[in-house]
Amino acid sequence: MAYKFTFNCLKFSLVGITLLLFQVLQAQQFDDAELSALLTSKQKQLGNNFVTSITTADTTIYKKEMGDVHVSKTVLPIGDLSQLLTAMMVMKFVEEGKISLDDNVATYLPEFARYNKNYLTIRHCLSHYTGIKQEKAGARLIKKYKTLEDLADNYASREIDYNAGEAFSYGLAGPNIAGRVVEVVGKRKFEVLVKQHLLSPLGMRRTNFSTTDFSAIRPADGANSTAEDLAILVRTLLNKGNYKGKQILSEASINELLQIHTTNGVIKTASKLTEGLPYTLTGWANGVAGDDANAISLYDFEGNTITIDICKKYGYISLLKQPQRIEAAQITKSIKMTTDVAFKSICP
């Protein structure tokens, strides 16, 4: 976090100095040996090739590289972690007045009106309240589609398990539909718009949405990235949308992304890993303050994880070269418990 000090008159901020010193002390107290020992002990579950990094609002303070996976050079599929980029892209268009979260999808994608999904909104898509029947085997079943338009049209024609807004069911449908809305409104391919509005301004040079088999770009789980690039994304959220003096998203948009959207009883499909956790517009809330999350996690159920603790001002990234399924993602709970000790803070 960058703090600016003005020493003339009474503008000197004792609070600012206190916060800065507190952050420095946090970094000093961080026990990298303990975390390294934990990761080494869990190598069987994590595999031989993985990277874990921890970042504050300013810089990466820890990294562990195993095998041939490196923080800055190794580009890996990040699966469901892609949904953070997709949600931020949607919020860029909301800020610019091009769309509203509560707009009906059918306004932009008429196929949804044709199949009586008129009440489905963009907010429903990001919060997994579409009610649309989901894929049972994830991306493997949607690789046959050549364009995001084809994929979205297929979602429009599917049966529903619930009415839109009635129940939470985690899957790929909602973010993919939201990504198609972005394409239509932006009049360019989703991957081009994300690069223009997010990746290039943030300097995330090794991140992309691309496929090697000419299948559809998937906003829900189709991004590729490095741990270093994802740390930039974490810092942007920790700094309320600001990165190196550039306001990538407004603080209001960040707050919108952190708003809780689920209540007891509405979650119909989730894993044991996320059991009991509410959901925001972009991830699972593992820390709650009122109606908002002050810590969120995104899990790719093949083992990749991003956790962003807004309150304690740090985040961590874990990327695996070989999928290890949910067992690897469960280890992130142990990582957070270990890391939280170094980032003590009075959090709600």
Which residues, including other chains, have CB under 8 Å from residue 45's CB and lie 6 or more apart?
A: 324, 327, 328, 331
Place of tokens 């789980």: 221
Q: Would you state the pLDDT for residue 301?
A: 72
Q: Kindly state whether residue 5 falls inside one of the protein's structural domains.
A: no
CB 223 within 8 A of CB 208: yes
- Segment (H or E) for 86: helix 82-95
Please report, for the domain that includes residue 81, its CATH number: 3.40.710.10
Look at the chain and count its residues.
Answer: 348
Q: Kindly state whether residue 7 falls inside one of the protein's structural domains.
A: no
Mean pLDDT, residues 219-227 taken together: 95
Q: Kindly state whether residue 159 falls inside one of the protein's structural domains.
A: yes
Percent of the chain predicted with pLDDT > 70 = 84
The span from the CA of 111 to the CA of 28, in Å, is 56
152: three-class secondary structure by DSSP: helix
Q: Kindly state whether residue 3 falls inside one of the protein's structural domains.
A: no
Q: Kindly state whether residue 132 falls inside one of the protein's structural domains.
A: yes
CB 34 within 8 A of CB 46: no
Mean pLDDT, residues 39-58 taken together: 85
Two tokens, residue 119:
């009440």
Each residue's pLDDT tens digit, 290-344: 888 999 999 887 788 999 999 999 999 999 887 665 565 567 777 777 787 777 7
Q: Kindly state whether residue 154 falls inside one of the protein's structural domains.
A: yes
Each residue's pLDDT tens digit, 194-214: 999 999 999 999 999 998 888
Domain residues for the domain of 182 are: 14-343
- Check whether 25 has a pLDDT greater than 60: no
For β-strands 305-309 and 314-320, DSSP reports them as: antiparallel
Q: Kindly state whether residue 8 falls inside one of the protein's structural domains.
A: no
Nearest CA-CA partner of 237 in 5, 17, 81, 56: 56
Q: Would you state the pLDDT for residue 164?
A: 95
Number of domains in the chain: 1
Two tokens, residue 289:
């303050």
CB 234 within 8 A of CB 248: no
Q: Kindly state whether residue 48 falls inside one of the protein's structural domains.
A: yes
Give the global pTM: 0.87
Average pLDDT, the chain: 84
